[in-house]
């Protein structure tokens, strides 16, 4: 892949695919080596953390070997949420970070995400350089690095959370945490208990294959039932790598990322802690939420779907808060990454002594979202019939709703989203578009 090979490995959230066939030990080793060869540091110090997938240990060993074979000092942090990488890189002055995770995907997938010395995910250009030099031997061929454990990494992360939210008292709060059998299964209960909450848990027994399985932020039905059945004050559901969170109020009502972000934004605005009085959202954010934020005096920038694009918008504008409907909430005052645990605590900070069920409610436009499996992520742009259908439905909803059809950045899916004045119309429009996408691209 040397030379000018087109970018094809890295998506919007690193390299991701089926472990063992697409995300192989050989690929991990090559990526690790290439990342060091492209590093400005002579002997870079590199953090490696992972989630709970059964393939994680294999990929951890492989990428550590690749990094060390080019002269890096590799520090293994073990199982930790993705956002811990940003904090640990900054805390220890490291040159690079690697996170092995496929986030909310099924256990059989895995992925490789790279972070720079500033704690931010690597820019597209840097990923491109790494990918183009996967087979390059380079001047460091004969160098031998070291691999060792980063002792205390988990406590470092919990300590950073505690320092940020030390003024938040959760005494008397009965909270239920769904940790998705993923990377938050130890650290999330630890910080909530440290802040005084009465903590109950779901999905905290990872076995390598049950990550995100009928649990977590992509499968919230179990949490909804458990919150009401157990009489809990609030519930939070994280995803497999811990950078997303959704909430459930005491009445069993799901509160998505849009609503959580609005709650936090209004709180920070009131506290004069919202830089630029602006936030960044994605095109998936419900129009009614955007209108409510703007009415409150908050500037709103809309980006493509993906937390890296939200981050880019924040950095360009000097803002600090942004997020996605899926539950990614980024607050740069804490870390340059979405952090599900920190976001949950920020929501509780915004609520004060209040009750999530008493939050300000916005009448959102009915929204329908369907994921359609297709031949490949690039097929959508070449499908003239699909594009014509999208244009027709968009014109019919002009001024009343909207249509968004886009390829997934991480899976061979096309996501069809429709907002319309009524649920019936949203269902009808979405159904017609899904049928065409399936017919043309399936």
Integer angstrom CA distances of residue 235 from 83, 163, 180, 199, 347: 21, 23, 13, 10, 12
- Provide, for the chain, the percentages of residues in helix, strand and coil under a 3-state DSSP scheme, each rounded to the nearest 5: 35, 25, 40
In the residue annotation, 408 being an active-site residue is answered as: no
Q: 153-164 vs 187-194: helix axis angle to the nearest 10?
A: 40
pLDDT over 90, % of the chain: 79
| Chain segment 245-262, per-residue pLDDT in tens | 999 999 999 999 999 999
- Residue whose C-alpha is closest to residue 51's, from 16, 26, 22: 16
DSSP-based three-state secondary structure for 209: coil
Alpha carbons 337 and 354: distance in angstroms, whole number: 27
For residues 83 and 120, what is the distance between their CA atoms, to the nearest angstrom? 10
pLDDT in tens, 38-75: 888 889 999 999 999 999 999 999 999 999 999 999 99
Domains of the chain (ranges, CATH numbers): 10-151 (3.40.120.10), 156-253 (3.40.120.10), 257-358 (3.40.120.10), 367-441 (3.30.310.50)
Per-run averaged pLDDT (10 residues), the chain, 442 residues: 52 88 96 91 94 98 96 97 97 97 96 95 89 68 86 97 96 97 98 97 98 96 96 97 97 95 96 97 90 95 90 96 95 94 97 87 88 82 90 92 86 90 95 95 85
Pairing of strands 367-373, 96-100: unpaired
Q: Dump strand ranges (E) for 80-159.
A: 96-100, 109-116, 146-149
Measure the CA–CA gap between 198 and 218, rounded to whole angstroms.
Answer: 24
Tokens of 237: 């559901």
Exposed / middle / buried, residue 298 (Cβ in 10 Å: 0-12, 13-18, 19+): buried
10 Å Cβ neighbour count for 208?
13
* pLDDT attached to residue 260: 96
pTM of the model: 0.88
Of 103, 326, 337, 343, the catalytic one is 103
What whole-number distance in Å separates Cα of residue 428 and Cα of residue 397? 12
Output the pLDDT for position 137: 54
């Amino acid at each position: 892949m040397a030379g000018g090979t087109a970018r094809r490995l890295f998506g919007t959230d690193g390299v991701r695919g089926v472990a063992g066939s697409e995300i192989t030990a050989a690929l991990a080793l090559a990526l690790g080596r290439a990342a060091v060869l492209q590093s400005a540091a002579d002997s870079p110090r590199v953090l490696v953390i992972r989630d709970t997938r059964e393939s994680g240990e294999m990929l951890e060993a492989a990428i550590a070997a690749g990094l060390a074979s080019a002269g890096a000092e590799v520090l293994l942090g073990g199982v930790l949420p993705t956002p811990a990488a940003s904090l640990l890189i900054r805390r220890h002055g490291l040159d690079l970070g690697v996170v092995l995770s496929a986030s909310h995907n099924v256990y059989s997938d895995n992925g490789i995400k790279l972070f720079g010395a500033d704690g931010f995910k690597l820019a597209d250009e840097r990923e491109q350089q790494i990918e183009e030099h996967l087979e390059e031997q380079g001047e460091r061929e004969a160098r031998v690095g070291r691999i060792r454990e980063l002792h205390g990494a988990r406590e470092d992360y919990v300590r950073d959370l505690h320092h940020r939210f030390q003024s938040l008292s959760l005494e008397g709060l009965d909270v239920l945490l769904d940790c998705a059998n993923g990377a938050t299964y130890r650290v999330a209960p630890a910080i909530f208990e440290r802040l005084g909450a009465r903590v109950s848990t779901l999905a905290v027994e990872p076995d390598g294959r049950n990550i995100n399985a009928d649990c977590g932020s992509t499968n919230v039905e179990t949490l909804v039932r458990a919150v009401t059945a157990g009489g809990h004050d609030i519930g939070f559901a994280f995803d497999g790598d811990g950078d997303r969170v959704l909430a459930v109020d005491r009445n069993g009502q799901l509160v998505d990322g849009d609503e959580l972000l609005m709650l936090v934004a209004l709180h920070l605005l009131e506290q004069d802690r919202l830089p630029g009085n602006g936030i960044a959202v994605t095109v998936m954010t419900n129009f009614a939420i955007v209108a409510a934020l703007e009415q409150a005096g908050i500037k709103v920038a809309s980006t493509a779907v993906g937390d890296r694009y939200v981050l880019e918008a924040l950095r360009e504008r000097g803002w600090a808060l942004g997020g996605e409907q899926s539950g990614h909430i980024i607050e740069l005052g804490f870390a340059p990454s979405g952090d599900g645990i920190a976001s949950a605590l920020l929501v509780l900070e915004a609520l004060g002594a209040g009750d999530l069920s008493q939050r300000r409610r916005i009448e959102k436009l009915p929204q329908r979202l369907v994921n359609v499996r297709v031949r490949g992520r690039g097929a959508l742009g070449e499908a003239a019939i699909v594009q014509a259908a999208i244009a027709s439905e968009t014109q019919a909803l002009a001024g009343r709703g909207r249509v968004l059809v886009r390829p997934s950045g991480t899976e061979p899916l096309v996501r069809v989203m429709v907002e319309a004045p009524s649920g019936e119309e949203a269902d009808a429009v979405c159904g017609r578009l899904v049928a065409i996408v399936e017919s043309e691209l399936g």
